[in-house]
Structure 1
Amino acid sequence: MIQIAIISDIHANLIALNEVLNDIKNRSIHQTYCLGDLVDFAPWGNEVIEKIKNKGIPCLLGNHDERIAFDIPIVPLVHHDQKETANRLIAINHSKTEIAAANKNWLASLPYNLELTYRINEVTKKILLVHAGLLSNDTYIYESDLKNDTAKELKDKGIDAVIMGHTHLSYIQNHSNVLFVNSGSVGRSRETDRKATYCILTITEKGIEAEIVKVDYNINEVAQQIYKSDIPDFYGDFLLNK
């Protein structure tokens, strides 16, 4: 049996990240992968990047990381209202100013996806890690979306499971013998409880099983630190469900 932890969408929330990493350590899981989006919306963008770097956690390039690393223009999203669009512009521009040049360079070096191959006895299992979709860092794949074409493409490549983030909504779904998992968000969950969320994969010769883990952290402290920073209060209110 092999267990790995998958984290995603920390969004500069160092307090949530620390609690999740402690939870992983307490479970004696020795492999952790990150699906990206280390920056934006909380005050600790540099600290989060440096923690992931220093711990040697393999990490993907999320869409927010990409925007900061390459100074990509900020384009409004169709699912955001006028208020969120305005606050998002301020928050991302804040990251563009605050993230250190060395950390931007490190983000720019990250891969878009990782394919993991595990062999247990005579059985091989392949897992694809992506930030959002197979071809785009801006694709939203929800639990309710049809996955016939995606499942076929993955099966043709011999992939047994695909793990993603980006939507900040966790789920586990089997489709045509392919396991689809959204690991949720560590630092900016859109789920009602706002808890830090990640997933654990258990790989055996019989197959791959996924578990969604929710971790308590001091959400109020994060919100208060956002209020004290130049990041819009909108993001503190979001965490407190205001």
Structure 2
Amino acid sequence: MKIALFSDIHANLPALEAFFKDVETRDTDAIYCLGDLVGYNIWPNEVIDEVRKRRIPTITGNYDFGIGRSSDDCGCAYKTDEEKEMGKVSIAYTNEVVKEEQRAYLRTLPAHIRLEFQLNDDKFNILLVHGSPRKVNEYLFEDRDEKSLMRIMEQADADVLCFGHTHKPYHRILNSGIDGNDHFRHAINIGSVGKPKDQDPRGGYVLLTLNENSSIQHKDSIKVDFIRFEYDVEKAARAIESSPLPNAYADMLRNG
């Protein structure tokens, strides 16, 4: 079973189109979107429509949640006054251009998707969220304290926790077993299709591969491939510069 997971498109249609071209070459069995379809660029409606017409199961991101409810709060953790002011422009612009049909779609997206496999004698749970199982806009960065991350996964009954939101991909393997009985858990940040923040401007997503021998007792029994793909960054950046959105968002795309 090969599962493609993507997230954080943020209204970047050129990146989404390039993602679809790339993933179609990967012979996947399933595809899921972990949210944040909108915000920071000019194509929120088109991005929503492309995901919908492919009938891709999609969960809500924090930006989707806000826009779906016509809120002026995207649940974003802006650190500076400048970032906050730019964020106000972005959510106001997105609220202005999103059409009612697309807004209604965002409003009805589920908070998470759980996939339960029965492999060998193990129950194997994969939980798909946007930020964390606890909150749509909670950031799970790679340096998260191991005990904290473990507790989050245990409380959510997640053997594999897949999420986005930080736009920085990583894979951590934790062992929650006791008395020599291994129970490996995988925390996987799938990165961002349309607004990466790891100094690599290429879009990114994850291919998660399970087989008939995948088990919570073996740390290497699932395969996680981080895929990067080229797209027309300049087209996306120039679209921002030709819109009311702050030009800084264009530079962020160019610099990753």
Q: What TM-score range do you get, normalising by the shorter chain?
A: over 0.9
Is the Cα–Cα contact under 8 Å of residues 161 and 188 in structure 2 kept in the other structure?
yes
Tell which deviates more after alignment, 193-202 or 154-163.
154-163
**What secondary structure does 2:24 align onto?**
helix
Is the Cα–Cα contact under 8 Å of residues 163 and 189 in structure 2 kept in the other structure?
yes
Shift of residue 233, structure 1, vs aligned partner: 1.2
Taking a change above 3 Å as real, the CA distance of residues 149 and 238 of structure 1, as seen in their structure-2 partners, is closer
Is the Cα–Cα contact under 8 Å of residues 62 and 74 in structure 2 kept in the other structure?
no
User: CA–CA distance in 2 between the matches of 1:154 and 1:222?
Assistant: 36
Is 1:224 equivalent to 2:238 in the alignment? yes
User: CA–CA distance in 2 between the matches of 1:140 and 1:60?
Assistant: 16
User: CA–CA distance in 1 between the matches of 2:78 and 2:152?
Assistant: 28
Taking a change above 3 Å as real, the CA distance of residues 77 and 160 of structure 1, as seen in their structure-2 partners, is closer
Shift of residue 234, structure 1, vs aligned partner: 1.6
Is 1:114 equivalent to 2:123 in the alignment? no
User: CA–CA distance in 1 between the matches of 2:236 and 2:26?
Assistant: 25
Letter in 2 for 1:214: R
Is 1:203 equivalent to 2:210 in the alignment? yes
Letter in 1 for 2:248: F
Q: Which residue of 2 aligns with 1:9?
A: 8
Is 1:215 equivalent to 2:214 in the alignment? no
Letter in 2 for 1:178: R
Is the Cα–Cα contact under 8 Å of residues 11 and 40 in structure 1 kept in the other structure?
yes
Could you tell me which runs of 5 or more consecutive residues in structure 2 were left unpaired when the two chains were aligned: 176-183, 215-220
Given candidates 186, 191, 200, the residue that maps to 2:193 is: 186
Taking a change above 3 Å as real, the CA distance of residues 61 and 76 of structure 1, as seen in their structure-2 partners, is closer
Taking a change above 3 Å as real, the CA distance of residues 137 and 76 of structure 1, as seen in their structure-2 partners, is closer
Tell which deviates more after alignment, 108-117 or 141-150.
141-150
Q: Percent identity?
A: 29
How many residues align? The count is: 241
Is the Cα–Cα contact under 8 Å of residues 131 and 164 in structure 1 kept in the other structure?
yes
User: CA–CA distance in 1 between the matches of 2:75 and 2:60?
Assistant: 20
Shift of residue 36, structure 1, vs aligned partner: 0.3
Is the Cα–Cα contact under 8 Å of residues 76 and 85 in structure 1 kept in the other structure?
no
Instruction: Map residues 5-84 of structure 1 onto 2, 5 A cutoff.
Output: 5-74=4-73, 79-84=78-83
For 1:78-118, what per-residue CA distance to the aligned partner results, in whole angstroms no more than 9, with x for missing partners? 64222221111101100111101111111111111110123
Taking a change above 3 Å as real, the CA distance of residues 156 and 106 of structure 1, as seen in their structure-2 partners, is closer
User: CA–CA distance in 2 between the matches of 1:78 and 1:143?
Assistant: 17
Q: Which residue of 2 aligns with 1:130?
A: 129
Is the Cα–Cα contact under 8 Å of residues 74 and 91 in structure 2 kept in the other structure?
no
**What secondary structure does 2:255 align onto?**
coil
**What secondary structure does 2:196 align onto?**
coil
Q: Which TM-score applies when normalising by structure 2? A: 0.88
Is the Cα–Cα contact under 8 Å of residues 12 and 42 in structure 1 kept in the other structure?
yes
Is the Cα–Cα contact under 8 Å of residues 13 and 44 in structure 1 kept in the other structure?
yes
For 1:205-242, what per-residue CA distance to the aligned partner results, in whole angstroms no more than 9, with x for missing partners? 23322111111111111101111122221211211229
Letter in 2 for 1:203: L
Letter in 2 for 1:93: A
Shift of residue 70, structure 1, vs aligned partner: 0.9
**What secondary structure does 1:226 align onto?**
helix
User: CA–CA distance in 2 between the matches of 1:78 and 1:120?
Assistant: 39
Letter in 2 for 1:38: L
Shift of residue 151, structure 1, vs aligned partner: 2.0
Could you tell me which runs of 5 or more consecutive residues in structure 1 were left unpaired when the two chains were aligned: none
Q: Which TM-score applies when normalising by structure 1? A: 0.93
Q: Which residue of 2 aligns with 1:173?
A: 172
